[in-house]
């Protein structure tokens, strides 16, 4: 029996065209069987360009819709700006974010500038602390302790990575969990990994992250936000997360699980990772290897969120390189129904979630 699979609901073919494909396939098989022609083109008919085969099923091949992270982030930042205006008018309070930068890494400096610009665009108050590579750990810790006590600061961010002589975990753990808007404090991570249905008397609502009494890491939260904004169903779907880092892989897997997806984590020791990924309705790639996820790894019609950001040599670019994700985008978009580009996909959402976490921290401080 010939099974038909429409890869996505975004592109529909008429019943007439569907039967044309069926009739063509059946007729070709009948002719080759009854006539004994030896022409390879008849024995193995080449499918039309908009059709591909997947596990003996006919699937419609189509270019996936691009998830516009920039547009979504602008919308969220505008929403945050309105919230900040309300906080200022009703409570005479402006959310404040402190950003600590150590060293002179160009990428870190760029990220910090982008975060400060987002603060300015949303109306948040921001403080910047720039330290040389030689700064002592005690100096940074003393500043963090001061910021913990400062009622005008609602979020503290330490830009990573830090120089090797600094204990990254110790410094991040020094930030009080209420102001850990990056969601990296062990108590915030523990809350994320809990399967409790209540926090105190309040029932946990994993469809509304802003109702949670703790902070979720910005990039994983941004991945789920993109799925929600594009109305991708998560519950009962099979999700594969490629990568198991503390920053993205593990927390995004927990978020998907809390939303009732069946989650598998693929990592460097997973045998035949492509066979695992091919089962997924939702693929989140966060491994940090350029183009490791090929188009033939993907199930037709799946949704792909590419968290990876990698630089590859490109003499045609002024900088001599270009940024790409973990997914082979140009080919994968012909298989997926929705896919994020790199850049312009998850990245802008990370900053938007940072702004939102800071506003939520301010609101929680007023409630307490």
Give the residue numbers marked as catalytic: 115, 159, 182
Instruction: Answer yes or no: is 160 within a domain.
Output: yes
Give the 3-state DSSP-derived string for 124-142, with helices as H, strands as E and coil as C: CEEEEEEECCCCCHHHHHH
User: Does residue 234 surpass a pLDDT of 60?
Assistant: yes
345 and 262 in a common domain: yes
Render 180-216 in DSSP notation, one character per residue: -TTS-SHHHHHHHH---SEETTEEP-TT-GGGSSS--
Q: Indicate which CATH number applies to the domain containing 309.
A: 3.40.50.720
Query: pLDDT at residue 56 above 60?
Result: no
48 in the same domain as 7: yes
Q: What is the domain extent for residue 16?
A: 3-60
Predicted pLDDT at 346 = 98
Q: Once rounded to an integer, what is the mean pLDDT over residues 269-278?
A: 97
Q: Which of 25-39, 57-71, 165-179 has the lowest mean pLDDT?
A: 25-39
Q: Tell which wins on pLDDT, 165 or 27.
A: 165
Residue 127 within any structural domain of the chain? yes
**Does 279 share its domain with 335?**
yes
165 belongs to a structural domain: yes
341 lies in the same domain as 244: yes
Contacts of 262 (CB under 8 A, 6+ apart): 236, 237, 238, 239
User: What H or E segment, with its residue span, contains residue 14?
Assistant: none
pLDDT on residue 45:
45
- Please check whether residues 328 and 240 belong to one and the same domain: yes
Specify if 272 maps to a domain: yes
**22 falls in which pLDDT band (50, 70, 90)?**
low
Instruction: Answer yes or no: is pLDDT of 252 > 80.
Output: yes
Mean pLDDT of 106-115: 94
Asked if residue 34 is part of any domain, the answer here is: yes
Residue finishing a domain among 181, 202, 229: 181
Position 199 scores a pLDDT of 78
- Looking at the structure of the chain, the number of domains it has is 3
β-sheet bridge partners, residue 310: 324
| Domain match, 248 and 295 both | yes
Q: Stretch 49-66: mean pLDDT, rounded? A: 54
- Taking only the tens place, the pLDDT of each residue in 83-103 is 999 999 999 999 999 999 999
Is residue 105 a part of any domain in this protein?
A: yes
Question: Is the pLDDT confidence value at 46 over 80?
Answer: no
The answer to whether residues 262 and 320 belong to one domain is: yes
């Amino acid at each position: 029996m010939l099974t038909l699979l429409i890869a996505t609901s975004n592109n529909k073919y008429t019943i007439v065209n569907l039967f044309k494909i069926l009739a063509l396939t059946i007729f070709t098989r009948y002719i080759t069987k009854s006539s004994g022609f030896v022409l390879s083109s008849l024995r193995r008919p080449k499918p039309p360009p908009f059709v591909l085969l997947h596990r003996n099923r006919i699937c419609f091949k189509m270019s996936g819709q691009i998830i516009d992270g920039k547009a979504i982030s602008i919308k969220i930042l505008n929403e945050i700006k309105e919230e900040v205006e309300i906080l200022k008018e009703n409570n005479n309070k402006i959310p404040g974010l402190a950003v600590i930068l150590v060293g002179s890494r160009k990428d870190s400096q760029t990220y910090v500038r982008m975060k400060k610009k987002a603060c300015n665009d949303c109306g948040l108050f921001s403080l910047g602390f720039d330290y040389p590579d030689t700064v002592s750990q005690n100096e940074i810790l003393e500043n963090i302790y001061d910021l913990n006590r400062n009622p005008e600061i609602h979020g503290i961010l330490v830009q990573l990575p830090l120089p090797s002589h600094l204990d990254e975990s110790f410094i991040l753990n020094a930030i009080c969990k209420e102001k850990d808007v990056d969601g990296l404090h062990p108590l915030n991570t523990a809350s994320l990994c809990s399967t409790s249905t209540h926090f105190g008397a309040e029932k946990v609502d994993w469809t509304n992250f802003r109702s949670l009494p703790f902070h979720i890491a910005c990039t994983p939260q941004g991945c789920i936000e993109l799925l929600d904004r594009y109305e991708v169903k998560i519950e009962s779907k099979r999700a594969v997360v490629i990568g198991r880092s503390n920053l993205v892989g593990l927390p995004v897997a927990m978020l998907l699980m809390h939303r009732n997806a069946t989650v598998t984590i693929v990592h460097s020791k997973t045998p035949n990772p492509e066979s695992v990924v091919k089962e997924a309705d939702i693929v989140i790639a966060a491994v940090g290897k350029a183009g490791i996820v090929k188009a033939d790894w993907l199930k037709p019609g799946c949704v792909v969120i590419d968290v990876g950001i990698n630089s590859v040599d490109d003499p045609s670019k002024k900088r001599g390189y270009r940024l790409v994700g973990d997914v082979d985008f140009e080919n994968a978009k012909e298989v997926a129904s929705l896919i994020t580009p790199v850049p312009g996909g998850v990245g802008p959402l990370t900053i938007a979630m940072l702004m939102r976490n800071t506003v939520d921290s301010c609101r929680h401080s007023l409630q307490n």
